Amino acid sequence: MTKWAMTKQAPPMPSFHDIFATSADGLRLHARGIGPADTAALPVLCLPGLTRTAEDFDIVAQALASDPQNPRRVVALDYRGRGQSDFDSNPANYTVPIEAADVLTQASAANIPRAILLGTSRGGLIAMVLAATRPDLVAGLVFNDIGPELDIAGLMKIKGYLGVPATPQTWDAAASGLRRLFGGVFPDLTDNDWMDWARRAFRQDANGQLVRTYDPALAHGFDAISLETPPPPLWDLFDQMARVPLLSIRGELSDLLSRACVSGMKRRRPDMETHDVPLQGHAPLLADAPTIARIKAFCRRCDEADG
């Protein structure tokens, strides 16, 4: 027998599959699933940021789904107006409460009655709403660079780029544009990293033109936000999660989630785990080994608490 034949081969990497659902008002909603459906481990429901899509979670989802000790199912969502989900003809529907209701629809379509929620930015706000209104769904919550209080400087930065048309002519131009916008808070990303980001942030339309993977009408949700009128804090909502296991991930260079906010969360919930991602801003990419290891460990803690 050859040495190659005696070597135990690693199991094949699980593949992604599409899950579709229909919202209460008739929009087609898309999600991206991976991992075993027959495992005892809690599934993970991934909720992306304001303008982001399910593909943001591909690396961490593959790591969770293929974990040899605790493989688990992962489902990442596209909200209405993002990714492969339908755009809404009424921009007033791009709100956290409506998107939270869509998440419930998508979780039901994916046959997920209870899960660990992994929420990036806006996804963390949606997760807090769900923890308060549907506590039976939420077995644990990972905040990715989000909390009950948001730094107005970071919000104004988001408002600034939401309202600016982006029509790069090439993929290289798209990657360069993202580097100009975010390079200051992601100084360690390589050329390949920026290109990967571009391919998540843009798609080619029927005419071969690069367009954003979100509805530009999302910008209307920031019309009322200014330096003089920041959104109200959500500490009351946070305090309703007294029995939910929590992990807070913060980008070391974040301009949206302050250290003071994380300290306030920790004072209210001394059992909340925290993790800082060096040399990353808003929002951490969840692709580095230490961060993935912390998420895996937290998921195991949720399994034990839920058992």
pTM, to two decimals:
0.94
Domain positions in the chain are: 12-151+232-306
The CATH superfamily label for domain 12-151+232-306 reads Alpha/Beta hydrolase fold, catalytic domain (3.40.50.1820)
pLDDT at 5: 38
Query: d(Cα 79, Cα 228) in Å, to the nearest integer?
Result: 29
12: amino acid identity, one letter: P
- What does the block give as tokens for 264? 């306030």
Answer positive or negative: Cα dihedral of 60, 61, 66, 71.
positive
Averaged pLDDT for residues 124-149: 98
What are the tens digits of pLDDT across the range 188-208? 999 999 999 999 999 999 999
CA distances from 72 to 65, 178, 253 (A): 5, 33, 31
> pLDDT by residue (tens digit) across 39-67?
999 999 999 999 999 999 999 999 999 99
